[in-house]
Amino acid sequence: MSPPADEGALWYDDDAGPMVRAYTITGGRTRPESGQEIDLIAVIVADPDADPDETLDEQHLALLDLCRPAPLSVAELASEADLAVGVVRVLLGDLLRDGQLRVIRPVPPADLPDAGLLRDVIDGLRAL
């Protein structure tokens, strides 16, 4: 459905606010430049000793401000910043490259102990 002719180029309602496409925020990038994939449940920690670079844009600074008080997951940052997860991953890659933050990656399932081993340990402890 096309907008009425008297509304001109305005094709969204006033309540939607300003609309910025994801590729504009990320400069056309779809992946972090570092090549590192940042997991959705990875925890982001802002480096308290790092001084924010003067060239950082509004979105980068907003992400830093969000994870400064307490570590947040990528999913939480995307929700709080009201940005798409893909955009947040690209922006976090920039901040990671610049040393502004650290990423605490989740433990891969292959590195977790076997459930049977844990049961044996619990049984052994109970036997004591």
pLDDT in the model for residue 22? 65
Q: Phi, psi (5° rounding) for residue 55?
A: -90, 0
pLDDT in the model for residue 7? 53
Give the separation between CA 66 and CA 88, rounded to whole angstroms. 12
- Rg of the chain on CA atoms, in Å: 21
pLDDT in the model for residue 113? 78
- 27 CB neighbour count, 10 Å cutoff: 10
Classify residue 98 by burial, with Cβ atoms within 10 Å: 0-12, 13-18, 19+.
Answer: middle
pLDDT (tens digit, 0 to 9) for every residue of the chain, 128 residues total? 455 555 555 555 556 555 566 656 666 666 666 667 788 888 988 887 777 777 778 888 888 889 888 899 999 998 888 888 888 888 888 888 888 888 888 777 677 778 888 888 999 999 98
Closest CA to 68 of 39, 95, 101: 101
pLDDT in the model for residue 17? 54
Q: Phi, psi (5° rounding) for residue 72?
A: -135, 150
DSSP string, the chain: -PPPGGGTT--S-GGG-----HHHHTTT-SS-TT-----TT-EEEE-TTPPPPTT--HHHHHHHHHHSSS-EEHHHHHHHHT--HHHHHHHHHHHHHTTSEEEEPPPPGGGSPPHHHHHHHHHHHHH-
